[in-house]
Amino acid sequence: MYGARNSLFIGLFAVLIASVLGLVAGLSAGFSRGWWDSVLMRFGDIQLAFPFILLAITILGVISDRNSVHLILVIGIPTWIIYARVVRSRVMVERDKDYILGAKAIGASDMRLMGKYILPSLWTAVLVIAMLDFGFVILLEATLSFLGFGLTPPTPSWGTILAEGKRNILIAPWLAVLPGLAIMATVLAINLTADGIADVLDPKLKISIFRRLPQRELANGSLKDPEGKDARSIQPEPTDPNDNVEPPLLKVRDLSVEFPLEDKVVKAVRHVSFDVYRGRTLGIVGESGSGKSVTASSIIQLIEPPGRVTGGEILFEGQDLTRISNNDMSQLRGTKIGMIYQNPTSSLNPVLSIGSQMVETIRIHLKSSPAEARDIASRALLKVGIGNPHAILSKYPFQLSGGMNQRVMIALAMLTQPDLLIADEPSSALDVTTQAVVLERLRDITREHQTSLILITHDFALVAEFADEILVMYAGQVCESGPIRSVIDEVKHPYTKALLQSVPRAEIESGTRLQTIPGELPDPAALPPGCPFADRCVSVMDICRLVNPSQVRVGSHHNVACHLWSSNKNEEKIRWHIS
């Protein structure tokens, strides 16, 4: 009983001393960063290099009458450096964040910054280390006592009892077992507690499951899409019988994608249909959560788990991509379908030069010799407007600008002359002037090879300039689609209309007030039963809140999902009833 009290007491205070020392040292070092930081950290390094147990034994050996305080100081003080290092690195990360700058901007003093802003973010780290350290210190105390440098007998602790037991091991072997078990159980319990505390303390951990999905992918997540049938209902064939005799290269019908989460299902894409014709460009426009990126990744069957296609078909040259094998799909991805992502620098392999990445791709797909492959690579770079391809081939992605890397990505994707290229926000990470050049190159090269392009973006104007057809998405659904001029000049859906009027443009006369769309994007966890835009719509009617509108044809290839244009008999009947 007394043994436990002494051991735990020593452990507790040793940890307390170490953590306070470490916290103060780490916080001040990380915050000041100057000479103070260097002095403290070098001192810590020296101390770490020194054999710690030997030092403890030497000091304790000198003291003849050892009590708890001696042990606490000798065991506790040296471990400060562990806290200090962790705290310091956390502080360095935190102090560069915008909210610290924001606190400075409101005139918060350095003390306030450290105490009120940075300190709260350190508790978790310090507590976890403290718990682990607690276990370590108890073991250390036991070790020292076992070796005879612990508390001066007859004061007991687990370590001294253990030592006692060793001496009597031949007579009474069970004597050493109990203190041993006690030490083991305590350390184990402490470590488990440490893990638990770490989980509880972080307020953001609770939503971590939710956050793991990239924000833009998160869309519609209602448990009850009340009338799945209603949303889908009649899908008018977008094809007009008179023109376009050629069948579409890509035909997406009634596509639905869901992300089952712990306690709900996020319906990211709901009954989406569209066609992409050979050599044409389809622009998909939407805000975050509209499902535009998920639609793209479902075409190439690369939806982030746990997402999955739950309905519909994706016909590429007549083949349903949702049903083919993984092998066939990766074959298609490399050759017939290309993909360009938003962030070119991270999409390229950072440890391989541009040349070796391109040569590898060429050799795999075209089965050419290394020399030939290099030649093809430099010609491909010339085509996307890179004037000195040989210099670029020997460079690594991090040595090039974002615009240059994106051009390399386009060259890479076009190497196999794919039939379909999907570009997901290809220019959003680029500057305006670079964006224009890159997109023009992309347009030229896809035209030259008769490649179909799906251009996914949040920028309506970009689609207006570079696409032939447009698909406007909101909350996982298509709200309007059609030829680009027709949609812009005869815009039908209130959302499309509002979107066009609410974005400030360089060409609009100054002095006019911007239209706004009231409210915010719908909560993916609580989607309304009717039209997802109903709550923000200026022309909202009663029926909009009850029934999700189906697609209606309003012009040549021009479709809209809105009750204002609905000719569906069923919906009309309901409307009649309400009014």
Partner 1 sequence: MAHLLEVRDLKKHFASHSGFFAGSEKNTVRAVDGVSFTVDQGETLGLVGESGSGKSTLVRTLLYLDLPTSGEVYFDGQLLTKKETVWLRRRAQIVFQDPYTSLPPRMRVWEIIAEPLLIHHLADRHSVSERVSQLLEDVGLQTMIADKYPHQLSGGMRQRVGIAKALSVQPALVVADESVSALDASVQSQILNLFKDLQERHNLTYIFVSHDLGVVKYMSHRIAVMYLGEIVELATTEELYAHPLSPYTRALLSAVPSIHRDGRERIRLEGDPPDPANPPSGCKFHPRCAIAHKLCSQEAPQLKEWLPGRYVACHFALDSNHTARGGEVSGV
Instruction: Give contact residues for partner 1 (rule: CB under 8 A).
Output: 97-99, 101-109, 112, 116-117, 120-121, 203-204, 207, 287-288, 385, 387, 401, 403-404, 431-437, 439-440, 458-462, 464-466, 488, 498-500, 502-508, 510, 513-518, 520-521, 536
Task: Give the separation between CA 269 and CA 256, rounded to whole angstroms.
Answer: 5
Distance of CA 224 to the CA centre of its chain: 27
Minimum distance, C-beta of residue 497 to partner 1, in the bound complex (Å): 12
Task: Give the separation between CA 56 and CA 72, rounded to whole angstroms.
Answer: 11
Q: Smaller CB distance to partner 1: residue 104 or 278?
A: 104
For residue 563, give the H/E element and its range. Answer: none
Of the candidates 143, 147, 152, which has an alpha carbon nearest to the alpha carbon of residue 64?
152
Minimum distance, C-beta of residue 196 to partner 1, in the bound complex (Å): 20
Minimum distance, C-beta of residue 451 to partner 1, in the bound complex (Å): 21
Minimum distance, C-beta of residue 297 to partner 1, in the bound complex (Å): 20
Contacts of 250 (CB under 8 A, 6+ apart): 275, 276, 299, 314, 315, 316, 420, 452, 454
Q: Which residues on adjacent β-strands are paired with residue 454? A: 282, 422
- Token output for 160: 């001294």
Minimum distance, C-beta of residue 64 to partner 1, in the bound complex (Å): 49
Residue with tokens 């590429």: 316
Task: Give the separation between CA 135 and CA 133, rounded to whole angstroms.
Answer: 5
Q: Smaller CB distance to partner 1: residue 273 or 477?
A: 477
Q: Smaller CB distance to partner 1: residue 215 or 325?
A: 215
Minimum distance, C-beta of residue 106 to partner 1, in the bound complex (Å): 4
Under DSSP, the state recorded for 548 is P
Q: Smaller CB distance to partner 1: residue 250 or 499?
A: 499
Q: Smaller CB distance to partner 1: residue 215 or 326?
A: 215
Q: Smaller CB distance to partner 1: residue 73 or 461?
A: 461
Q: Smaller CB distance to partner 1: residue 152 or 428?
A: 428
Task: Give the separation between CA 435 and CA 427, rounded to whole angstroms.
Answer: 5
Exposed, middle or buried, 73 (CB in 10 Å: 0-12/13-18/19+)?
Answer: middle
Contact 518, 472 (CB under 8 A): no
Q: Smaller CB distance to partner 1: residue 59 or 100?
A: 100
Q: Smaller CB distance to partner 1: residue 303 or 455?
A: 455
Under DSSP, the state recorded for 523 is P
Q: Strand pairing of 265-276 and 308-316?
A: unpaired
- Token output for 6: 């002494």
Minimum distance, C-beta of residue 457 to partner 1, in the bound complex (Å): 10
Minimum distance, C-beta of residue 505 to partner 1, in the bound complex (Å): 4
Q: Smaller CB distance to partner 1: residue 96 or 246?
A: 96
Residue 457 CB neighbour total at 10 angstroms:
23
Minimum distance, C-beta of residue 228 to partner 1, in the bound complex (Å): 26
Q: Smaller CB distance to partner 1: residue 227 or 459?
A: 459
Between CA 277 and CA 342, with CA 488 as vertex, the angle to 5 degrees is 60
Residue with tokens 């002359």: 417
Between CA 324 and CA 331, with CA 329 as vertex, the angle to 5 degrees is 135
Minimum distance, C-beta of residue 484 to partner 1, in the bound complex (Å): 10
Minimum distance, C-beta of residue 460 to partner 1, in the bound complex (Å): 7
Instruction: Give the residue ranges of DSSP H helices in 63-211.
Output: 68-76, 80-95, 98-105, 110-112, 123-147, 158-167, 177-201, 208-211
Contact 342, 425 (CB under 8 A): yes
Helix axes 354-366, 370-383, angle to 10 degrees: 110
